[in-house]
Structure 1
Amino acid sequence: MKKITFANSKGGVGKTTLTINVAQLLSQIGKKVLLFDFDPQSNLTNTLLENPIDTNNITKWILGADKDDLISTILETRISNIFLVPSYSKMVLETNNIVLNQPNSEFKFKMNLEEIEKILINKFDYIFFDTYPSMNTILLNVLLASDEIIVPIEPHSYSFEGITTMFKPYLETINNSKKMGMNIKNNINYYVLNKIQKNKLHQSVFELISQNEIGKKLLDTHIPLSATKQKETMLLKFAAITNNNPIYKLVMELTNKGVI
């Protein structure tokens, strides 16, 4: 059971759209997918639930609760085989400071997941995390709990400049944990170009990225702008199993690379 995050602390790069459409495609081939909505904007929650209720259940996964209580926070959605722990609008405000004051605060979510992992493995094939577009204690917790981190970037020079700085708290935590004898890996394994257009600007930026360190981890599949330009439609019309579907191509590439 892989735990996967499309992560970037810059907003508007398509994290939620990629998350929900990859999950939907996996659900269509019979895989059971659990989603966590750690973004207080609740776009994922509002898309998947008919009548979402703003509760603080997701904070229990970071602050801690007994196993039955955690399992009870998982809801069925309007899409078969997709399940959700919904977002909470005051999550950052109420959770961040509490977690910061606890020992090993950045590993709270990872430890709580490990406590209940045997139960989750029997219920789900994949877990995806949708994240807050800003580096904070919650995002750091999610990144450290992830087996695979895929960074969506737009084809603009400013969208990939500073990515190392953006993930600096995550990388520093890993380095510090190694000094304490903990076996924590850097799981930022791939980057995916999103919202691609066929024009000279995007081509020149793509060439620039290819020559950058990021280029070594850049996926071959690129998601065109036409797939994501309708912001109000999270579920893409072509999230179907067809070779013309870029989401399908992305899933196949991630499968071939052992990510999913």
Structure 2
Amino acid sequence: MTAPYDPIDREKVVAKLPAELRKELKVRAAELGKDIQDAVTEGVEAWRKAKDRSVVDTAGGTSFATYLPAGLYGKLKQDCKTRNISYNQGIAQSIRWWLDNNPSPRPKPARVTGARRIIFGNQKGGVGKTSVSAGVAQALAESGNRTLLIDFDPQGHLTKQLGYPMFDIDEASLAKHMLREAKGELSELLVPIKGGDFEEHLWLLPACKDAFLLDAKLATTKAVRIKETALEKALEPLEQEFDYIIVDCPPSLGYSMDTALYYCRTRDGEEPSTSGIVVPVLAEDSSADAYDMLYDQIQDLVEDMDVKIDLLGFVVNMYDSRKGFVATSSLDEWHNIGEPPVLAVVPELKDQREAVRVKKPLLVHAPYGDQADVMRTVARRISA
């Protein structure tokens, strides 16, 4: 459908929609690989021409925001006034029309390898591995995927930012399960992340205070290949329970990172780019230097273990063109790499910092902000 509007010139619109309709829209858009704003635009344009417009129950609606091409917003409001219905009802009917005329694709065949495994890693700290991995996990879960988010960084920033306690050093933990020192099941340690449209689809495996010891213990273990396979062995019992397992990795090049890289390798029978690594970076030279070291580590592991590890792409985080030539030229260089591609550019905004401050997920604190939309873009691109 060709719209008689400039797609760059859009207006923010806010309506109140029932939760189920909002969730259905997000899931369907993700299934079809379409931006939510484009789906709503198509729905509004078709609704304006349609003869039959069924009433939608909008009782108990909560805030929903998107962007419509400039000019279409005013026409929609005028149509609602002419038809003597509320603006909320007009938006709801438009979305309902789009959903009814864009059915869910047929279910994909069951994966023989269990959950898709995506790790977020970079040797450099402060590039936003935690914020990006958390945001993308929320976006995947929001689209109906059962998603497990793992805090694999001994600093525990992810766990703390979401408002959960770290496991004490004498408690069971992921590290203890990796070292075969824990009793019980790893599934007992998972906690559901509440709020937003991802509720009941997103779980967290919190960090543990003993994770600082993991590299040293892996280095001294006498078990064959446990250095590389420890994370996979620990998580294996959970894989059939989830569609995605997202790992927020430590800013290091140690044995822990080796276990994470091995975990996201392409397994036998698995399609290319089903699993792999996403590299959050900044638009500056130090990120490029850190990526070079990470790339060397990946290649060493690939050659040593005879495996394939897919680099899914970069996420350029905290980008602000007002920083001038350093930022803009660096962003150009990330794009010029070509493969892996730049999946998205996250603007430098206050939303994520505020979410951390109030200990809420980004897609709960600012679900309709630009940063949240970028997380959905990354989720859509890695799940395609």
Class of the TM-score when normalised by the shorter of the 2 chains: 0.7 to 0.9
Matched with 1:97 is 216
Q: 1:93-172, aligned counterparts within 5 Å?
A: 93=213, 95-100=214-219, 101=221, 102-104=223-225, 105-114=227-236, 116=237, 120-121=239-240, 123-146=241-264, 147-172=275-300
Structure of larger gyration radius: 2
Q: Does the 8 Å contact 1:35/1:129 carry over to 2?
A: yes
State the structure with bigger RCO (CA 8 A, min sep 6), 1 or 2. Answer: 1
Give the secondary-structure state (helix, strand or coil) at the position aligned to 2:189. coil
Residue number in structure 2 paired with 1:197: 320
2:311–2:340 Cα contact (<8 Å) kept: no
Q: Tell me the SS of whatever aligns to 1:35.
A: strand
Change (3 A) 1:32 1:74: same
- State the Cα distance separating 1:196 from its structure 2 match: 0.9
Give the C-alpha shift of residue 243 in structure 1: 10
Alignment deviations for residues 106-149 of structure 1 (CA, whole Å, 9 cap, x no partner): 222223434x2xx532x211111111111111121012101210
Match of 1:238 among 366, 374, 380: 366
Aligned length in residues? 244
Q: What is aligned with 1:177?
A: 305
**How do 1:27-42 and structure 2 match up within 5 A?**
27-42=141-156
Provide the rounded CA distance (Å) in 2 between the counterparts of 1:229 and 1:32: 26
Matched, 1:217 2:340: yes
Aligned partner (choices 133, 136, 141) of residue 19 of structure 1 = 133
**Partners of 1:243 and 1:249 within 8 A in 2:** no
Partner of 1:191, secondary structure, is: strand
SS at match of 2:313: strand
User: Once the 2 structures are TM-superposed, how far is the Cα of residue 240 of structure 1 from its aligned partner?
Assistant: 4.5
What residue identity is the alignment partner of 2:248? D
**Unmatched tracts of structure 1, length 5 or more:** 179-183
Q: Displacement of 1:244 after TM fit?
A: 7.9
Q: Give distance in 2, aligned partners of 1:150 and 1:186.
A: 11
- TM-superposition CA deviations, 1:143-178 (whole Å, max 9, x none): 210121010110002211352323423321210122
AA at the equivalent of 1:88 = C
Kept in 2: contact 1:17–1:235 (CA 8 A) = no
1:187 is the counterpart of 2:310: yes
Is the deviation greater in 29-38 or in 220-229?
A: 220-229
Shift of 1:194: 1.1
Q: 1:56 to 1:138 in 2, by over 3 A?
A: farther
Q: Find the residue that maps to 1:39 and give its secondary structure.
A: coil
Give the AA of the match of 1:190.
G
1:65-104 matches, cutoff 5 A: 69-79=185-195, 80=199, 81-93=201-213, 95-100=214-219, 101=221, 102-104=223-225
Unpaired runs of at least 5, structure 2: 1-114, 265-274
Secondary structure at the counterpart of residue 344 of structure 2: coil
Question: TM-score scaled by structure 1?
Answer: 0.82
Structure-1 residue corresponding to 2:160: 46
Tell me the amino acid that sits aligned with residue 78 of structure 1.
K
* Deviations, residues 208-241 of structure 1 (Å, cap 9, x unaligned): 3333xx3332225211111545583463343459
Instruction: Classify 1:45/1:195 alpha carbon distance in 2 versus 1 (closer, same or farther; 3 Å).
Output: same
Closer, same or farther: CA 253–162 of 1 in aligned 2, 3 Å: same
> Does the residue aligned with 2:342 lie in a helix, a strand or coil?
coil
Q: Bigger CA drift: 80-89 or 127-136? A: 80-89
Partners of 1:154 and 1:228 lie apart in 2 by 16
* CA deviation string 1:44-84 (max 9, x = no partner): 11233545542341113421378952222222233422212
Say whether the 8 Å CA contact 1:37–1:84 is kept in structure 2: yes
SS at match of 1:161: helix
State how far apart, in whole Å, the 2-side matches of 1:244 and 1:38 are.
23
| 3-state secondary structure, aligned to 2:318 | strand
- Are the structure 2 counterparts of residues 220 and 22 from structure 1 closer, same or farther at C-alpha, using a change threshold of 3 Å? closer
